[in-house]
Amino acid sequence: MPTFQPASVDSFRPSVRVLPSATVSGRLLCLPLALLAACPAPAQVPANYLNEQPVRARHAMVVTIHHDATDAGLQILREGGNAVDAAVAVGFALAVVYPEAGNIGGGGFMLIRPSSRQLNGGQPVFLDYREEAPGSAGANMYLDAAGNVIPQMSITGFHASGVPGAVAGLTFAEQHFGRLGLAKVMAPAIRLAREGFALPAQEAGDLHAGNLARFAASRRIFQRDGNYYQPGEIFRQPQLAATLERIARNPATFYHGKMAAQIAAFEAANGGMITAQDLARYRVKERTPLLGHYRGLQVLTAPPPSSGGIVLIEILNMLSGYNLPSLGPDRSANQIHMIVEAFRRAYMDRSDYLGDPDFNRMPLERMASEAYAAAWRKTIGPFSPTPSAKLVRPAGFLPAASTPLHPQLDSNQTTHFSIVDADGNAVSSTYTLNFGFGSGVTVDPLGFLLNDEMDDFTSKVGVPNGFGLIQSSANAIAPGKRPLSAMTPTIVSEPPVCPASAKAVAERQSSSVYYLPLPAGCEPGKLRLVLGSPGGSTIITTVANDLISVVDNHLNIQAAADAPRFHHQYLPDILQFEKAFPVATVDAMKARGYSTRRAAEFDEKSAGVWGDSELIEVDPAGGELLGGHDHRHTFGKAAGY
């Protein structure tokens, strides 16, 4: 049996937990509260962010949290690869150089938007390679005999992992949409694992994480059994290099072959849940991306099992009824008020309705309707907050949340990267181990960390998960089910360009929340933005704020990435600010009646930041690519040619 460490800090928590300090205080890499002591200080939000300038490139751009991963993607683009080739190269490279979140033992989403009919007939693709609950998982698996959630069980150790999807997802992407083949795109990752890379100071500090110290292989590989790696030291991972070489030769081995047997044997020997059958059953799911509209632009975004897209669309729909710049500048109290009230309302729907679409029927079209957004707007006062406890959903749009609207038809640390290739094809991808270094467990002798994505499920209705999210039975644990996510890879473009004969069809199609095939004769509209971030429950509000900062407030993409963040997720009813947020604005929000919290206010060691926006904008004037790398992290970069 695995050992579980009770979270001793729980005793003073309110019944609805605020965002764990780990999410909003020290690390955007979200170590859970109990492990926070291990967190070093990340960089602060730059005070002069409005004056910063993006990286500029004519042809192609890669933006990631790690400079070695950015270089891997750029190398592949220069060798003739497309955005998908580069994305797969970055995905595998991050698994080596960014073990906090980059992974092959986790899962994620990849949104691919072709710039023309030459790639996938012009059709956008959303790859769901989210982790899946193992066959032995059950709705009450994290409850004790008294029906209480067992602290940490879904977060650390052998019972916390879902069946990993990253290898399936990345190799599927390469095989179906790439040009260069696995051997070529995985070569940079294999080299980085075998020859090693110089550890950035921030990252060397991250490797002190408490969850790694608890498992023998993790302690040996990442902490040299207590002789910690120093900033600048070369970190080599020979076991991981061998694993990646085997995957490059035969990706099926991870799910069906010898490697699957090794993973299953390791799990069985340690009381873990993932079996050979679970691995063999795992499939990548190609899903139809969601389509929203904002200020004349198309917003292509993540469908369930991510909550990100539909919640983003609801937020934008509510905000399209306001002229935000007329209320004040970016991050002004008046703008924040309207945006937060939209956040609150959309997150209420998130907690009541969303889960794995293969296990639930969800009212997405209705949630995305303009009429519903207009009805919500009527409940937003011009100045004061609506307390979440008093929020009443407009009647007549959605089924009552308490009726059985979630029938089971058959029977949810993270990193984001953005890529645009020389043809204008775009990839927006967010993938994760959930909390920093996932479950803390490294599969021996394969050298990769397993996720703790099981915590994204509803362990018990009404009890917050690691991100303080209250979720419904739609997200209850069931074998083969994928946990609800907040990851929101998003691509913004101009509407398609259609001949007069196809305009009516195009308009009709654009009224659906699902992206429908381009009508004959139409070409994809111009690319404008590639967006996304980690940060658990804060992901959606970070993406929304980045989008609003650029589209409404005309910040450049670098300033948008670095702008200080605010967040509200309905419950807990607290307006949260990064530590660097201007004091006067926070006080103004308090004066309006908001309960406010400044991240890590009393923790001098913590920068009090969250999220990590790795963004690309296409300059609408000259078509130049503009890269914005989030300066909360000192070791990533935007680069292009």
Residues forming contacts to ligand DON in the complex (CB under 6 A) are: 28-30, 412-414, 432, 434, 453, 456, 485-487, 534-536, 539
Q: Which is nearer to ligand DON, 544 or 625 (CB)?
A: 544
**Can you tell me the distance from the alpha carbon of 285 to that of 228, in angstroms, rounded to the nearest whole number?**
40
Catalytic residue among 64, 156, 414, 430: 414
Instruction: Please count the helices (runs of H) and the strands (runs of E) in the chain.
Output: 20, 21
Q: Which is nearer to ligand DON, 128 or 453 (CB)?
A: 453
> Closest approach of Cβ 424 to ligand DON, in Å?
28
- DSSP-derived letter for residue 569 is -
Residue 414 annotated as catalytic:
yes
CA distances from 409 to 357, 358, 406, 534 (A): 9, 7, 8, 31
- Neighbouring CB atoms inside 10 A of 621's CB total 6
Q: Which is nearer to ligand DON, 163 or 182 (CB)?
A: 163
Tell me the residue type at 632.
Answer: R
Q: Which is nearer to ligand DON, 133 or 551 (CB)?
A: 133
Q: Which is nearer to ligand DON, 465 or 596 (CB)?
A: 465
**Under a CB-based contact definition with an 8 Å cutoff, are residues 166 and 109 in contact?**
no
Q: Which is nearer to ligand DON, 432 or 439 (CB)?
A: 432
> Closest approach of Cβ 402 to ligand DON, in Å?
25
> Closest approach of Cβ 112 to ligand DON, in Å?
19
Sign of the dihedral defined by the CA atoms of residues 256, 427, 113, 299, in that order: positive
Q: Which is nearer to ligand DON, 54 or 355 (CB)?
A: 355
> Closest approach of Cβ 629 to ligand DON, in Å?
16
SS (H, E, C) 159-225: CCCCECCHHHHHHHHHHHHCCCCHHHHHHHHHHHHHHCEECCHHHHHHCCCHHHHCCHHHHHHHHHH
**Can you tell me the distance from the alpha carbon of 456 to that of 469, in angstroms, rounded to the nearest whole number?**
9
Task: Please provide residue 373's backbone torsions phi and psi, each rounded to the nearest 5 degrees.
Answer: -60, -40
> Closest approach of Cβ 78 to ligand DON, in Å?
30
Q: Within 13 Å and on the Cβ side, how many CA atoms surround 137?
A: 34
- Neighbouring CB atoms inside 10 A of 584's CB total 9
**CA max distance for the chain:** 69
Q: Closest Cα partner for 364 from 425, 287, 434, 307? A: 307
**Can you tell me the distance from the alpha carbon of 359 to that of 58, in angstroms, rounded to the nearest whole number?**
45
> Closest approach of Cβ 413 to ligand DON, in Å?
5
**Under a CB-based contact definition with an 8 Å cutoff, are residues 130 and 109 in contact?**
yes
> Closest approach of Cβ 217 to ligand DON, in Å?
22
Question: Which residues form the catalytic set?
Answer: 414
